[in-house]
């Protein structure tokens, strides 16, 4: 499992369709569908109910979406904080002379 699958999962849930999520990311609908199928297989969870040209997020999928969305937001905040810290901190180098 990787961040790209998790990000795409969130986009699919928010867009309400594989096609709309695919268009927003400039990939094919089939690629998104396969990515979501792999994610479901890796997790061992059914995240979507699929019907002809429609998808519905399952209750487990809704819970997983909330968890993943929060995790991705926290990750982004932490990475940005680290980037900020790395540019604002100064290094202090100490040395001494021995006789």
Structure-model confidence comparison of residues 7 and 92, the more confident one: 7
Residue 3: pLDDT over 70: yes
CA distance linking residue 6 with residue 71, whole number of Å: 10
79-to-15, 44, 67, 69, 83 alpha-carbon distances in Å: 26, 29, 18, 15, 6
Share of the chain above pLDDT 90, in %: 72
> What confidence score (pLDDT) does residue 16 get?
94
Distance CA 3, CA 21 (A): 16
All residues at 6 or more sequence positions from 56 whose CB lies less than 8 Å from its CB, including other chains? 48, 49
Closest CA to 64 of 36, 98, 84, 90: 36
- pLDDT single digits (tens) 25-62: 999 999 999 999 999 999 999 999 999 889 999 999 99
Other C-beta atoms closer than 10 Å to the C-beta of 73 total 11
pLDDT at 89 over 70: no
Determine the pLDDT at residue 29.
94
What pLDDT shows up at residue 53?
83
Q: Do 5 and 39 touch, CB atoms closer than 8 A?
A: yes
């Amino acid at each position: 499992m990787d961040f790209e699958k998790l990000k795409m999962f969130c986009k699919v849930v928010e867009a309400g369709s594989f096609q709309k999520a695919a268009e927003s990311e400039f990939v094919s609908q089939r690629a998104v569908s396969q990515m979501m199928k792999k994610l479901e297989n890796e997790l061992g969870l059914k995240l979507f109910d699929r019907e002809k040209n429609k998808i519905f997020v399952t209750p487990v999928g809704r819970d997983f979406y909330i968890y993943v969305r929060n995790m991705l937001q926290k990750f982004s905040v932490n990475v940005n904080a680290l980037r900020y810290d790395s540019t604002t901190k100064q290094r202090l180098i100490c040395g001494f002379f021995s006789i």
